Amino acid sequence: MSINVETISVSVKKYPVLVVCGTLTLILAITLYFRSGVIEQLQVEQESVNKEVKRYSSNISNAAQIQDQSTFLVKANEAVKARTLSAESLAINLQYFYRLESETGVKYLDLRPGGRSVSKIAAKQAYIPLSYIVTIQGSFDQILAYLGHIEKGVYFARINTASATGTGSAVTVNLNIDLLGSP
């Protein structure tokens, strides 16, 4: 049994709907086979676009208060900047400590700037720690008043180390203090 052109043309004329459906099924099956990987790729792209849309809508909703938030942050930064010491103004910085001495009645046995190793990274920062080594002597109440002034003072301060010796009227305290400074 051989298939020839006449037999095929007679079959097409006899069953046209069947031939068209079969041909269409064959074309769709081939298309589905070659395009099946594209569907997964399009789903991944759709998820990516949906994430991007959510991010944009979040940015738009958050942008409504951006001017108020920016103004608040600028004011807060100015308030912090007002409570910092300048790294170059050593005399003014030491004057702060002398003022504390006169206000609290303690006596300085040693007051000197600590080692300042300002690296290139720290020079690019907005704020740096200004280290001071302080040894004070006074009564217990005077020492507490001094520490209270440091804690609640004009400048932001951190006491890194503290050691005390003595009793009652003659207490000696060694402090390592960092004050917030600007380069």
From residue 167, alpha-carbon distances to 5, 50, 159, 164 in Å are: 121, 71, 21, 9
Which of helix, strand or coil describes residue 98? helix
Residue pLDDT, tens place only, 23-69: 999 999 888 877 777 778 888 899 999 999 999 998 888 888 888 88
Does the domain formed by 85-182 have CATH 3.40.50.2000? no
pLDDT given at position 75: 93
Placement of tokens 């302080």 in the chain? 134
Residue pLDDT, tens place only, 92-133: 888 888 999 989 899 999 888 887 655 554 556 778 888 899
Placement of tokens 């005390």 in the chain? 164
Angle separating helix axes 140-151 and 90-104, nearest 10 degrees: 140
pLDDT given at position 10: 82
Query: How far, rounded to the nearest angstrom, does the alpha carbon of residue 71 sit from its chain's CA centroid?
Result: 19
pLDDT given at position 18: 87
For residue 166, give every residue at least 6 positions away whose Cβ sits within 8 Å of its Cβ, in sequence order, or none: 137, 172
Q: Where are the domains of the chain?
A: 1-82, 85-182
Query: For the whole model, what pTM was predicted?
Result: 0.60
pLDDT band at 182 (very low <50, low <70, confident <90, very high): confident
Using an 8 Å Cβ cutoff, are 83 and 155 in contact? yes
Identify the burial level of 176 via C-beta atoms within 10 angstroms of its C-beta, where 0-12 means exposed, 13-18 middle and 19 or more buried.
Answer: middle
pLDDT given at position 89: 79
